[in-house]
């Protein structure tokens, strides 16, 4: 009887996932499935996924890295804008207020950047987990149909 490489649990014949830890096993554990490589949905082209009216192939899993990069860029621009606004308004008052705004504005701008990136990362992780759950459930349903 086969055992899971990750947790060591005994595996039933012909299963695609470990019943204890959920790790993909057997022939479906290759890089062309939901493991570390492309998913089955990613093998479909972007444009064909975009115009798929049955929504069997998702584009969100293909765009998630681009969305995260845009969120980081937006966070950097927001932090920089806040910093510049604080410094300009501080130097309008006086040189001392400008220096204070330079320090405090830099700290607050870094905090704005960090919180924005953190929020975007958590939100995108929640979204990708939902899509991966959908992919895993579809794989489990396919396995159930083939074994019956």
Alpha-carbon distance of 57 to 34, in angstroms, equals 14
Residue 23 is predicted with a pLDDT of: 74
pTM exceeding the 0.85 threshold for the entire prediction = no
Structure tokens at 47: 């444009």
pLDDT by residue (tens digit) across 57-78?
Answer: 778 888 899 999 999 999 999 9
Where do the structural domains in the chain lie, given as residue ranges? 58-147
Residue 43 is predicted with a pLDDT of: 54
Q: How far is CA 26 from CA 21, 68, 141, in A?
A: 14, 33, 16
For residue 17, the cross-strand partners are: 24
pLDDT band for position 94 (cuts 50, 70, 90): confident
Q: Who has greater pLDDT, 146 or 98?
A: 98
pLDDT band for position 12 (cuts 50, 70, 90): confident
Contact between 109 and 83 under an 8 Å Cβ cutoff? The reply is yes
Nearest to 56 by CA among 144, 143, 108, 131: 131
Q: For tokens 């082209």, name the residue.
A: 45
Alpha-carbon distance of 19 to 134, in angstroms, equals 18
């Amino acid at each position: 009887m086969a055992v899971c490489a990750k947790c060591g649990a005994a595996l039933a014949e012909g299963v695609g996932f470990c019943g204890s830890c959920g790790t993909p096993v057997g022939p479906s554990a290759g890089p062309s499935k939901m493991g570390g490589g492309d998913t089955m949905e990613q093998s479909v082209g972007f444009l064909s996924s975009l115009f798929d009216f049955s929504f069997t192939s998702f584009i969100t899993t293909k765009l998630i890295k681009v969305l995260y990069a845009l969120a980081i860029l937006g966070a950097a621009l927001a932090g920089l804008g806040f910093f510049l606004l604080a410094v300009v308004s501080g130097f309008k008052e006086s040189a001392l207020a400008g220096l204070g705004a330079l320090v405090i504005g830099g700290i607050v701008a870094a905090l704005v950047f960090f919180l924005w990136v953190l929020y975007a990362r958590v939100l995108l992780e929640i979204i990708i987990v939902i899509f991966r759950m959908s992919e895993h459930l579809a794989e489990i349903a396919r396995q159930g149909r083939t074994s019956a």
